[in-house]
Structure 1
């Protein structure tokens, strides 16, 4: 590693390793070896048909070709001697991008070769369209399996993008030379699995930037890269790059493929494309690729050896297009393999013509002011001075992200990390969403979705925002149907959110955020149809046929109504009727009924015919009323708890069904049976009694009789506690009811005061478990009510003569706790 250390030190010091050389813009970063999320594959041009080979075949063939070391100045000498200009870059580095632009301006090549999937040649002209605004990405997906997809993102400060735009602006040819997506997407095949390939006797995969940063004496690789490339002044931007290229050669000599054997296959293909370009254009060729590949592209190999590495690779039929990307998805924390820590900061460094620190602080001040943080021009001036002072103290060529962040925290944010987190999210990372021309290739479903978005004025945005809809308005109704249809297709652009409180069904609140991956979901959904409505209809019919659970079909019916898919409802209703007729499990019927009952409400506001749905719902309700008591007998504790939830749901929705009055009478009879039958679990008997009391179907005396029976001495303590939990437990909302209903509080107090002392000791732990479900504020209020006695809620709510309450404190009963306190506190005397 002596050569790497020397080259890294030279680069850090800004020294050129080869006099008279225009330079090789070297790259650094976690993905210095490859472009983006997907970076393997082989094109059809000049490559034998894929026949499929084993994983060991790829690795062994790749390993058979040694990576020759690159001596100092070798890459540069190739250019001086008339060879192609090979520019090794960091894929999303503004310093590399500036170096590429300067080198291309100086050399003016006839063709620019860019690391990227070969099929993108057909799309390169779109990069010059006025409607194309980075960040954007090349998206490739398998035609027969759209979910198998890969992206190649490019930002405005990506060297590849700069090279493409330079060539298009000056009439030079542009070609992509990396393995085509046809083979990249075949990487899901086991033959492309790197596994635990050994590197120089170890299973390590090296990080080239970390290696070079460590050789230069840096602990932070990102800081080293900033010092060497990003923060350099207005001098020769390519000055340090030859030294970096030599360091890459030393790393390749020491580590071979660095833990990525597929790189050798990719590099073999790149060399073939480079030979073809030189044959056509002579030496007026420039190559823009990851710096890790520079040593492999500048060494001599034979065509036969390179083609041997490519023989028999698997492939799939693919389609490719441009899609919008976001700065947030360029960040490393998003999981992007070639990601960077601060896309927004790098974009600023690339775009700022001068005074980048002053312009950055001004941008931060604008953001903070927009969020009502008091920031003055004096704050900006002091923040700039502090950043420059920190850079000088730390020996950096200019203030970097660390210095500017520290200055922003100390001056603009007054030491608080709360506004600083906002700066990091909005500016350091950023939420920029790119745009692509309308005529970019896309699946028909994507085109229809784009048309609907424009018609409904629903612009995709990278930032999260809430959308309030009033379904009584035509446009809002169409927006709701579009979002529901997309959810049915698995395109999660919007999620339902809690909106304004109210009982109406005409309001919806959505939380929207467009993510680049949704383009893949749209491509996947394209198999169902060419329009959003047709695809959602076909998808709903397919799910109805495949559903086996009754609740799944009822949920699907509800979704179809929300999405306005009238053409899908007949198939869904047939499946619903079939499942309902065959399903004899009352729990399943009870679980399915609420969705149907809620769906019936949508007919009025959405104009949907729900007659067939109402008929099925009424039939389910009848079967539940008949079968519920037998189904509740003999349930264990867990099953009884689940059944209580089903009973609550059915009780809440019966009023929404046709013939609600008659059903309510029948349901009251079912609850009475549940409350009276001893073989029914206590939690269900208690819950039934509570529902009857809430609906005033039974009086206080009858409720007290049911309670006394459930809590009689002969009742097992566990069953008694379960009854109390069903009647007034935290899960039943009993806490607030006890606070506002002194009648119910009196019933419970009467039982508690009448429980014999020996039985009370056994029941106390179970009762404490029940009432511990109340919120702290509810428990405190209940204690105050008990202490104040009856009528404490006011004359309108007073219940005279309730046992257990008194107008004043009973000191004798209160003093009974003193011995226990003495024991707990260990005090000799208590006042």
Structure 2
């Protein structure tokens, strides 16, 4: 730099952290000033990362992430959007070849302090200035004064206004430390020989750079501050995380709108409403160019009535609501989600500092053609296809690592090869990946190590280990499965509670079939399943003893689940299970719910014929039984649906006679149980039962009567299908 330049010129550009008008003004002012160094509010540990912002692969929104290794809760982000003044200052400096330094308190110091220091909430200078100007909305005031302002932004006036707001207000301890460090960074820049210095910081801090605070006082304030080890990198960010409603303290209400204002300098209202029309058309809504013209006129009229220099977000939203959305708030919410906030996800260069696990995931995303996206995206996988199967395994592995990029959805249809997901990438997943790096350098290795550690942890519940077995099979982790199965076998052998074994077995039975559906080896699973089922069979009689109503319902829920799961096991296991149920069903001390449910299960499985089922029903509904027990028996027997009453006239007749024989008091007592039982039937079942009763009761139901005239059409159709219509 020229030696004759001895005087120091410091230009302080106080801005709002995210605003298109501020961003344009900062860029224009820096080009006018041509400083030889730019100081920006941010962590000084990131100085060496600034050159990455000039990479063509870097696409905002992005954020600087500082975190304490090993403590995921201690992390802080500095987000930047294309319309952030600090981002434009960085890009100007890189384009002009000017050095950039961050001047905020180091992240190592900021993260050493916990958030429970009891400091007062930061001031809201924008709100104070808006109130002084007669505005009830700080966002609207800032837009009118800065974001929609024609010409340059008066940074000196902004600094004077902030000084007036700060007058008489003592900064908090944290703010005092931050501003002391900012002044120290400015002095260091002067000491290093820079003579034309531009500072880009939050407007609130602008007066701090003109504060005649001596260096010694700042040094005393900063001396002895605690520090922690931190790592800093760039990570992708989203517009949703820039929104104030996400909890971001410096967020704005409308990042998508602000990006539009920044990128569409000419005719922003017309271009915005054209985008609104495009979004609505994509949803199949009829929006014409005439709608756009009328909405533009209405927005302009509203802005004129309110004395605004340009139609703001309020005006264009009201115009869209009235003209394009026909007053429907659901359509307005769609516009807010898709455009006002937006769904943009940034991108960082490949040479950004990352832990190996992050790099492995990026390689997997490229290989599997799964691009991260902030917007919700449904993905229907066909597990018969190698690419989709690999995608499924990756999503399950990430879930084991605490990175729920995908959320499984309920599959439509009966095919087990379909696996629907909903994908949405969140910025905090990068923090989770950094922390998960301790488990391994690749996604499968880290997921396997994490699963084994969770299965072998002290005090882990049997159901949790069972879930891990299922998840290891879904994620195809053959190196982890043997150890997780060993942990499961040990837990099952030591667990005396039959109910917990019953709760764990269905997931194991489901996992057993993955070897067929997903091509995953489930070696060792059969032995564990057989052992668990054998212990359930042995412990079932005692588990069904001495139950009250609530305990009986809870146990029968597990009993139904185990019975359904045995359909996925071998024929021998199924036969042994049904034999155990037959033995228990022969007891006469069972709770009514259990007695009725076991009878129904055995009937549906073909272990009881209709004659025997009718005999048991007659015994259960005989006059010597308490009405409450009979109602419980019926609840258990009919829990699987009312088809037996539709197809078996004897069962319906027995139930009908029992109900007709109840006294008024007994009927009132059992009515809640009966209503709950019959209320679970499908509507066609209830209708068919009612028609049979109306036709004269169970034994003489009208199924033997055939209306030949009404049946003739159906008979002709069947004969036509069989090719025998002429017979």
Structure 1 and Structure 2 fold alike (TM over 0.5)? yes
Q: 1:788 to 1:421 in 2, by over 3 A?
A: farther
1:220-369 matched pairs, under 5 angstroms: 220-233=137-150, 235=151, 237-239=152-154, 241-257=155-171, 260-369=172-281
1:110/1:173 contact within 8 Å kept = yes
Q: 1:741 to 1:104 in 2, by over 3 A?
A: farther
For residues 192-214 of structure 1, the C-alpha deviation after alignment (integer angstroms, 9 at most, x for no partner) is 533154xxxxxx65322221111
1:19 is matched with none
Q: Pick from 523, 530, 533: which aligns with 2:434?
A: 523
Q: Pick from 495, 508, 514: which aligns with 1:602?
A: 514
For residues 538-582 of structure 1, the C-alpha deviation after alignment (integer angstroms, 9 at most, x for no partner) is 111111211632222221111111111001112112112211221
Is residue 656 of structure 2 the alignment partner of residue 749 of structure 1? yes
1:820 is matched with none
Is residue 117 of structure 2 the alignment partner of residue 194 of structure 1? yes
Matches of 1:395 and 1:666, distance apart in 2: 83
1:12-161 matched pairs, under 5 angstroms: 83-161=9-87
2:37/2:194 contact within 8 Å kept = no
Unaligned runs of 5+ in 2: 1-6, 706-727
Secondary structure of 2:441's counterpart equals coil
Secondary structure of 1:442's counterpart equals coil
1:646 is matched with 558
1:812 is matched with none
Q: 1:355 to 1:722 in 2, by over 3 A?
A: same
Q: 1:724 to 1:491 in 2, by over 3 A?
A: same
Is residue 610 of structure 2 the alignment partner of residue 687 of structure 1? no
Matches of 1:794 and 1:601, distance apart in 2: 44
Secondary structure of 1:254's counterpart equals coil
Matches of 2:647 and 2:170, distance apart in 1: 76
1:790/1:799 contact within 8 Å kept = no
For residues 685-719 of structure 1, the C-alpha deviation after alignment (integer angstroms, 9 at most, x for no partner) is 22111211222322334333333443445544443
Is residue 642 of structure 2 the alignment partner of residue 727 of structure 1? no
Q: Pick from 658, 669, 678: which aligns with 1:762?
A: 669
1:114/1:176 contact within 8 Å kept = yes
For residues 494-531 of structure 1, the C-alpha deviation after alignment (integer angstroms, 9 at most, x for no partner) is 011112211x4322111111011110111111110000
Is residue 361 of structure 2 the alignment partner of residue 449 of structure 1? yes
1:586/1:624 contact within 8 Å kept = yes
Q: 1:416 to 1:275 in 2, by over 3 A?
A: same
For residues 714-769 of structure 1, the C-alpha deviation after alignment (integer angstroms, 9 at most, x for no partner) is 544443333222222xxx34257756776754553343234355533432343234
Is residue 631 of structure 2 the alignment partner of residue 705 of structure 1? no
Return the offset for 1:117.
0.8
Q: Pick from 83, 100, 103: which aligns with 1:174?
A: 100
Secondary structure of 1:469's counterpart equals strand
1:553/1:576 contact within 8 Å kept = yes
Is residue 442 of structure 2 the alignment partner of residue 548 of structure 1? no
Q: Pick from 653, 657, 667: which aligns with 2:577?
A: 667
Q: 1:791 to 1:333 in 2, by over 3 A?
A: same
2:83/2:262 contact within 8 Å kept = yes
Q: 1:268 to 1:110 in 2, by over 3 A?
A: same
Secondary structure of 1:584's counterpart equals coil
Matches of 1:779 and 1:563, distance apart in 2: 44
Q: 1:736 to 1:165 in 2, by over 3 A?
A: farther
Matches of 1:794 and 1:717, distance apart in 2: 26
Q: 1:686 to 1:358 in 2, by over 3 A?
A: same
Secondary structure of 2:284's counterpart equals coil
For residues 382-406 of structure 1, the C-alpha deviation after alignment (integer angstroms, 9 at most, x for no partner) is 1111100011111111100000001
Matches of 2:250 and 2:43, distance apart in 1: 16
Matches of 1:334 and 1:776, distance apart in 2: 45
Secondary structure of 2:216's counterpart equals helix
2:343/2:374 contact within 8 Å kept = yes
For residues 422-454 of structure 1, the C-alpha deviation after alignment (integer angstroms, 9 at most, x for no partner) is 111101110011111111110100000000000
2:58/2:347 contact within 8 Å kept = yes
1:194/1:262 contact within 8 Å kept = no
Q: Pick from 366, 379, 398: which aligns with 1:467?
A: 379
Higher relative contact order (CA 8 A, sep 6+): 1
Question: How many residues are matched?
Answer: 698
2:8/2:197 contact within 8 Å kept = no
Is residue 112 of structure 2 the alignment partner of residue 215 of structure 1? no
Q: Pick from 394, 416, 421: which aligns with 1:510?
A: 421
Q: 1:724 to 1:158 in 2, by over 3 A?
A: same
Secondary structure of 2:192's counterpart equals helix
Return the offset for 1:640.
1.9
User: Scaled by the length of structure 2, what TM-score is found?
Assistant: 0.91
Q: Which moved more, 1:629-638 or 1:477-486?
A: 629-638
Matches of 1:737 and 1:397, distance apart in 2: 75
Q: Pick from 292, 295, 311: which aligns with 1:380?
A: 292
2:635/2:673 contact within 8 Å kept = no
Q: 1:122 to 1:742 in 2, by over 3 A?
A: farther
